[in-house]
Amino acid sequence: MDVLFVNPGNAVKIYQDLASKYSAIEPPTWALLLAESCRSVGFEVGILDVNAERLNLEQAFKRITIIKPRLLCFVVYGQNVNAGTAGMSGAIKLSNFVKLNSPDLVISYIGSYVQALPIKTLIEEKSIDIIFTNEGVYSLRNLLSQDKIDLNDLSHIRGIGWRKDGVPVLNSPEIVVPQEKLDTDLPGYAWDLLPFHQKRLDMYRSPMWHAEYDETKRTPYAAIQTSLGCKYACDFCMINIVNRNDNDEIGVASNYSSMRYWSTEFIINEFDKLVEMGVQTIRIVDEMFLLNKNYYLPLCQMLSEKGYGNFLRMWAYSRIDTVSNPTLLKLIRNAGIKWLCLGIESGDKNIRLEVSKGMFKDVDIKRVVDQIHNSGIEIMANYIFGLPKDTYESMQTTLDLSKELCTAGWNAYAAMALPGSKLYKDAIQKGIPIPKSYEGFSFHSYETLPLPTESLTPAEVLKFRDTAFYDYHSYSAYQEIIVKKYGNAALDSIQEMLKVKLKRKILGD
């Protein structure tokens, strides 16, 4: 085999006790895209999903030795913005084990962490031979085109980092796939390479809320992208690090914002495949799905015409200022999008605008939320506690707003200096402590370490966030809505989830 793509796993360290039942298990989107891209030009490829199969080190290594790939490629992104860094914990454990037991096997990495911190990675992680400094499509093809991958002579492969005589070297950047070649050079998903029990994608499960708190609806589950990138540059986000095109030692995603779209016909073909495989629960991964009407309107129209809205259970991200049109909301709902994930972030407009670029300024959030609900679409509302100027009072304002909106989905993070974000670079330059372990960048982990604000410590922010999570899901008005929409069994599931207490190192657990 030319290349084996590895989706690493370390769910217990990342999610603690939520890992066994409540956290999602998502198909490895970028591994699927890269595998299909390499396969389309004649390379023999495979995918090892350590996370979905819950393989230990010995089991994963045994699979690798049986397959004997020329190149082992760890693809470390994930289902949340922080997952690329948090996922490095499991990835490094496995690559260290592989390198120790099979030192001649060439190991490469692609993912948000190595793209943000390529030199640091090569200095600290000796089991990694090659890192990709952008999305890796053309760099991978060029690397695999070599008769033999010579680790002493890689200066001619653009878009990679490697070691020359033991010293980290970053070659000149490779281009990302241009808009006009997206359909041909990233030609879909290698669904057939994923593990399964009885039918495709049955080893993957959605978040509980996406399945309306009904365990039977969580699987089979798929995630799909219709576009790449985001044109905004929020300080807390690192989503655009995949488009990186320079060689700075600390990359910041907000400097490389752009968007590219697959054609409507191309994406519909992927939906057809998923429907044929019996998948009804689907996440649309795009950060800005409902931004460009020229792309999402034709797609929603075709999904609706095919009748997919009658049985698909999809969710997508949206800015809150792009979904205030009832006619558009009706079309979105008819396409099968039953949940919208909104980044409300903060109840204090000034705090929100300080870190969010191009975000809504004067939108009536309550009115928009009511319009979405009136269109038969549920909302997963996302909030951030601990933004730079947050105080106890402003965080309470955010929590109070969330209760007023009373959405069926609620999530809040403590602000984190994610590698690839401006907040990370600022923290490094200011000497603000950041997590010492990869899993410390997980919002749910024991070792998590959020940022301080100008007036609050990381521990104070985290304690507020964890208390707010319990407070909201115990809120009587929220629980009444859940029972009304989904029944008593759904409320029972939520109450069982609330019994899982995350342990936090900085809180003395």
Of 131, 150, 179, at which residue does a domain stop? 179
What is the chain's pLDDT, residue by residue, as a tens digit (509 residues)? 999 999 998 777 777 777 778 888 899 999 999 999 999 999 999 999 999 999 999 999 999 999 999 999 999 987 665 578 888 999 999 999 999 999 999 999 999 899 989 999 999 999 999 999 888 999 999 999 999 999 999 999 999 999 999 999 999 989 889 999 999 999 999 999 999 887 889 999 999 999 998 999 999 999 999 998 777 777 777 676 666 666 667 777 666 567 899 999 999 999 999 999 999 999 999 877 888 888 999 999 999 999 999 999 999 988 777 777 888 899 999 999 999 998 888 877 777 665 555 555 567 889 999 999 999 999 999 999 999 899 999 999 999 999 999 999 999 999 999 888 888 888 899 999 999 999 999 888 999 999 999 999 999 999 999 999 999 999 999 999 999 999 999 999 999 999 999 999 999 98
Give per-residue pLDDT as tens, 145-175.
Answer: 999 999 999 999 999 999 999 999 999 989 8
Instruction: Compute the distance between CA of residue 303 and CA of residue 183 in angstroms, rounded to an integer.
Output: 19
Task: Tell me: do 277 and 413 sit in the same domain.
Answer: yes
Of 179, 212, 235, at which residue does a domain stop? 179
- Where residue 43 sits, what CATH number does that domain have? 3.40.50.280
Q: Do the beta carbons of residue 115 and residue 109 sit within 8 Å?
A: no
Q: Do the beta carbons of residue 105 and residue 140 sit within 8 Å?
A: no
CB within 8 Å of 295: residues ≥ 6 apart:
226, 227, 261, 264
Task: Tell me: do 175 and 205 sit in the same domain.
Answer: no
Instruction: Compute the distance between CA of residue 89 and CA of residue 13 in angstroms, rounded to an integer.
Output: 8
Q: Find, among 127, 131, 126, the residue nearest to 111 by Cα.
A: 131
Task: Tell me: do 144 and 209 sit in the same domain.
Answer: no
Structural domain includes residue 257: yes
How many structural domains comprise the chain? 2
Task: Tell me: do 144 and 212 sit in the same domain.
Answer: no
Beta bridge partners of 229: 259
The whole model's pTM is what? 0.93
Q: How many CA atoms lie within 13 A of 212 on its CB side?
A: 18
Of 179, 206, 230, at which residue does a domain stop? 179
Structural domain includes residue 401: yes
Instruction: Compute the distance between CA of residue 506 and CA of residue 488 in angstroms, rounded to an integer.
Output: 36
Q: Do the beta carbons of residue 252 and residue 285 sit within 8 Å?
A: no
Structural domain includes residue 329: yes
Task: Tell me: do 216 and 175 sit in the same domain.
Answer: no
For 249, the domain range is: 195-507
Determine how β-strand 71-76 pairs with β-strand 3-7: parallel
Please report the DSSP string for 69-126 in residue order.
-SEEEEEE--SSTTHHHHTHHHHHHHHHHHHHH-TTSEEEEEEHHHHH-HHHHHHH-T
Structural domain includes residue 250: yes
Task: Tell me: do 62 and 135 sit in the same domain.
Answer: yes
- Where residue 371 sits, what CATH number does that domain have? 3.80.30.20
Task: Tell me: do 148 and 220 sit in the same domain.
Answer: no
**Residue recorded with tokens 């870190």:** 355
Instruction: Compute the distance between CA of residue 386 and CA of residue 233 in angstroms, rounded to an integer.
Output: 19
Distances (CA, A) of 391 to 348, 453, 481, 504, 506: 10, 8, 30, 21, 19
